[in-house]
Amino acid sequence: MTRDHRVVRARVAVRVPLNAAGDLAAGAARVVERLETVDRAEEVRVRGLQPGMNDTVVELELRLRLAGDPELPVARRALADGVGVRNVAELEAVEPVPA
């Protein structure tokens, strides 16, 4: 059985603009979901905040369904290079949950 995605647990820090719609968790999840390598963000938990002049850095722990099945080092680089991503502290593969 082949799968067309990889499910990972991640700890990331992203920049959320001050005028973003919704709460910080939703705004941070949108930043991550806009990345080409991410199909969907799930189980989003805010672990820290760093308010700034123009944005807030939000530290998240979340489950990601990645587009395709990239190797972890490739996925980490793609996430770290994403617009709005400040840091990828952890990234580990988990078993996908049956749909």
- CATH code at position 71: 3.30.70
For 46, the domain range is: 5-94
Domain assignment present for residue 99? The answer is no
Total structural domains in the chain? Answer: 1
Domain assignment present for residue 60? The answer is yes
- pLDDT at residue number 61: 97
> Rounded to the nearest 5°, which phi and psi values hold at 39?
-90, -45
Amino acid present at 81:
D
- What is the reported pTM? 0.85
Distance between CA atoms of residues 75 and 81, nearest Å = 10
Domain assignment present for residue 24? The answer is yes
Tokens read off for 1: 């059985």
Instruction: Walk along the chain (99 residues) in steps of 10 and give the mean pLDDT of each run.
Output: 74 91 89 95 95 93 93 94 96 74
